[in-house]
Amino acid sequence: MNAMDTPEARELSYAEAIREAMDIALESDPRVVLMGEDIGVYGGAFQVTGDLVHKYGTDRVMDTPISELGGAGVAVGAALTGLRPIFEFQFSDFAALAMEQIVNQAAKLRYMLGGAVSVPLVMRFPAGSGTGAAAQHSQSIEAWLAHVPGLKVVQPSTPEDAKGLLLAALEDPDPVMIFEHKILYKSKGLVPAGHYTTPIGKAAIRRAGTDLTIVATSIMVHKALAAAETLAAEGIEAEVIDLRTVRPMDRETVLASVRKTGRLLCVYEGVKTLGVGAEVSAMVAESDAFDFLDAPIVRLGGAECPIPYNPDLEKAVVPQVPGILDAARALAKGRI
């Protein structure tokens, strides 16, 4: 069922929408289990799982030891034996400790066993900067995992999609990595009641425009939309595409927009080099949409450095609205 088909939309926070999705899944499917550090009585590092342990018990909502490698391995094994685990990393950065299980096991076992098994595993990654958590707790590593065949990688930017993409991920036979920006947890939006899914691999056009295309991910969608409002007042109509899924990427929506506008700006929080915007740029450059470009493609990504602790420096190393405005104006006015 699609979100548009469900009534009774209510305003929920991004975190509440994720919790509601997990609640629906736990109630409707006995195969679904939650795993992660401090997700039980404590409710999760960002309080996303909340009191689900009291409703479903410790057999369904399981605290794992402080070992990301061990916990991820248990989740992969559980998926192989017929469960539908949702594994939460306290911070996406900690996935570095579990790469063996994510990259060499979850992503490859279906292929290596000739399709005889699947790994229906969902992993949740609280990601991104803006909380003053410094270099080891603030990275955006979605491009790392999107580089691995066998993994699907999504970045919901709204509460509605946070719920719908999680429920879609639970129906997928392959591992789905969900990157949830920590700053978005308290953001609010209308969320349909009940069960619905947001399609994996389909982008959303958040704002229509004719003068340039801005392809953004996660929290950068909101910054792009804020910039687009200012641009509109100046007579520049930007089309804002929320990529939603990094892998598989929605090629057709992006290319159709570029053919229409003739200009492309990619905005993402991960480090600029080899980031999501690099793949979007290459996708356009290798297609017929390249012939429609009236200006070079521009990428705005994170700076080539770890995320600083100082709040002013932290803001300076990832794209912000003023930088998006400067790049969009230059593109639209032919200064690039």
pLDDT in tens, 255-281: 999 999 999 999 999 999 999 999 999
68 in catalytic set: yes
Q: How far is CA 289 from the centre of its chain?
A: 25
Please say whether the dihedral angle defined by the alpha carbons of residues 31, 36, 40 and 45, taken in this order, is positive or negative: negative
Which of 137, 222, 239, 279 is the catalytic position?
A: 137
Query: According to the model, what pLDDT value does residue 336 have?
Result: 78
Query: According to the model, what pLDDT value does residue 5 have?
Result: 53
Nearest-angstrom CA–CA distance, 48 and 36: 12
Over residues 294-316, the mean pLDDT reads 97
237 in catalytic set: no
Residue of 254, 287, 245 whose CA lies nearest to 146: 245
Q: How far is CA 237 from the centre of its chain?
A: 26
Which amino acid is residue 291, in one-letter code? D
pLDDT in tens, 15-54: 999 999 999 999 999 999 999 999 999 999 999 999 999 9
CATH of 204-332, one of 3.40.50.620, 4.10.320.10, 3.90.700.10, 3.40.50.920: 3.40.50.920
Over residues 3-22, the mean pLDDT reads 86
Which of 16, 37, 68, 314 is the catalytic position?
A: 68
Please say whether the dihedral angle defined by the alpha carbons of residues 187, 91, 305 and 213, taken in this order, is positive or negative: negative
Q: Is the peptide bond before 308 cis (omega within 30 degrees of 0)?
A: no
Query: According to the model, what pLDDT value does residue 6 have?
Result: 54
Assess whether pLDDT exceeds 70 at residue 3.
no
pLDDT in tens, 184-223: 999 999 999 999 999 999 999 999 999 999 999 999 999 9
Over residues 156-162, the mean pLDDT reads 98
pLDDT band at residue 7 using 50, 70 and 90 as cut-offs: low
Number of C-beta neighbours around residue 305 at 10 A: 11
Q: Which residues belong to CATH 3.40.50.970 in the chain?
A: 11-191
Query: According to the model, what pLDDT value does residue 335 have?
Result: 82
Residue of 200, 193, 202, 149 whose CA lies nearest to 178: 200
Q: Which residues belong to CATH 3.40.50.920 in the chain?
A: 204-332
> The pTM is what?
0.95
pLDDT in tens, 78-103: 999 999 999 999 999 999 999 999 99
Query: According to the model, what pLDDT value does residue 85 have?
Result: 98
Residue of 334, 318, 201 whose CA lies nearest to 270: 318
pLDDT in tens, 108-141: 999 999 999 999 999 999 999 999 999 999 999 9
Nearest-angstrom CA–CA distance, 283 and 262: 15
Burial of 88 (0-12, 13-18, 19+ CB in 10 A): buried
CATH of 11-191, one of 3.40.50.720, 3.30.460.20, 3.10.20.310, 3.40.50.970: 3.40.50.970
pLDDT in tens, 225-249: 999 999 999 999 999 999 999 999 9
Q: Which of 6-10, 144-148, 225-229, 298-302 has the lowest mean pLDDT?
A: 6-10
What residue ranges in the chain does DSSP mark as E strands? 10-13, 32-36, 61-63, 84-88, 122-127, 152-154, 176-181, 188-191, 204-207, 212-216, 238-242, 245-247, 264-271, 298-302
Query: According to the model, what pLDDT value does residue 34 have?
Result: 98
Q: Is 140 helix (H, G, I), strand (E, B) or coil?
A: coil
C-beta separation of 195 from 214 below 8 A: no
Question: Strands 10-13 and 188-191: what pairing?
Answer: antiparallel
pLDDT in tens, 168-191: 999 999 999 999 999 999 999 999
Q: Which two tokens stand for residue 292?
A: 């429609």
pLDDT band at residue 334 using 50, 70 and 90 as cut-offs: confident
